Chains A and B, each alone.
Chain A
Amino acid sequence: MKLDVLYFAWVRERIGEPRETVDTDATTVADLVRELSAREDRYALAFSDLSALRVAVDQELTAFDAPLAGAREVAFFPPMTGG
């Protein structure tokens, strides 16, 4: 399946792009992280500490074990600092 993968803040800077389309068979967010991390060092570096990251699937915050069935968009970012 094709997924739009978005990166924000220092995750975007480490990976070097704000978004990309990924063709993947990953069934969970964690699978997708493993797949991306195996690709290139910049992904492995960005995903080296998942406790420092948050994830949203189709623009809803979720957990790394969340399923990807039917998902269109996954976003990775650091803990939010609004307000």
Chain B
Amino acid sequence: MSVRIQQEPFDFGAECDRFAAGRSDTGAVVTFCGIVRDDGGLHAMEIEHYPGMTASAITAMVDTARTRWALTDALVIHRFGPLGPGERIMMVATAAPHRADAFAAAEYLMDYLKSRAPFWKKERTAEGAHWVAAKEADEDALSRW
């Protein structure tokens, strides 16, 4: 299990390759990559986080996922700092003997990362800068777990 909080980019392909390599106890690997989306006029997205809390909060989510699904491994990478449109923000990878567990754990981790990991996004456009508001739908998504 690995949780990395970093400013620098990560190589999504290389991370997926490394994560999937050399496993004989695993029949399924699920990966997700989050990308900075430009809905029109986005110059940059700045991601702030709470350094003392971020890694421990995400590690706790991974630990909970391990108690609920038969995971053989999990990886979360999340970036902070200024990011441009199209840049990769974060990734989740889960490994399990069977795919249902790998898919469910990846979705669970994504839902919790959205609303319970201490990150805040600020979008810069030609009109100025604004903090991205949390969506009610993201909060509601937690109720299914």
Query: Could you name 22 residue pairs across A and B whose Cβ atoms are closer than 8 Å?
Result: A6-B50, A8-B48, A59-B52, A59-B53, A61-B116, A77-B118, A79-B133, A79-B134, A79-B139, A80-B119, A80-B134, A81-B119, A81-B132, A82-B114, A82-B117, A82-B118, A82-B119, A83-B34, A83-B90, A83-B113, A83-B114, A83-B119
Indicate whether B120 reaches chain A with its CB closer than 8 angstroms: yes
Give a binary string over B97-140; 1 marks a CB under 8 Å from any A CB, 0 the rest. 00000000000001001111111111000000001111000010
| Residues A2-58 near B (CB distance < 8 A) | 6, 8-10, 56
Say whether, besides A59-B53, A59-B56, A79 and B115 are in contact (CB < 8 Å): yes
Give a binary string over B47-89; 1 marks a CB under 8 Å from any A CB, 0 the rest. 0101011001100000000000000000000100000000001
Among A56, A61, A78, the residue within 8 A (CB) of B134 is A78
Main secondary structure of the interface of B (DSSP, over half): mixed
A79 and B118 alpha carbons, distance in the complex (Å): 8
Cβ-closest chain A residue relative to B54: A82
| Chain B interface residues (CB < 8 Å from chain A) | 34, 48, 50, 52-53, 56-57, 78, 89-90, 110, 113-122, 131-134, 139
A6 and B118 alpha carbons, distance in the complex (Å): 13
The 4 closest A-B pairs by CB, nearest first: A79-B134, A9-B120, A82-B119, A82-B117
Give a binary string over A65-83; 1 marks a CB under 8 Å from any B CB, 0 the rest. 0000000010101111111
Say whether, besides A9-B120, A9-B131, A82 and B113 are in contact (CB < 8 Å): yes
Query: In the complex the two chains form, is A80's CB within 8 Å of B52's CB?
Result: no
The A/B interface has a contact count, at CB < 8 Å, of 68
Least CB distance, B107 to chain A, in whole angstroms: 11
Among A56, A73, A83, the residue within 8 A (CB) of B118 is A56
Cβ-closest chain A residue relative to B135: A81
Cβ-closest chain A residue relative to B110: A83
Contacts of A9 in B (CB 8 A): 48, 120, 122, 131
Least CB distance, A16 to chain B, in whole angstroms: 15
A31 and B98 alpha carbons, distance in the complex (Å): 50
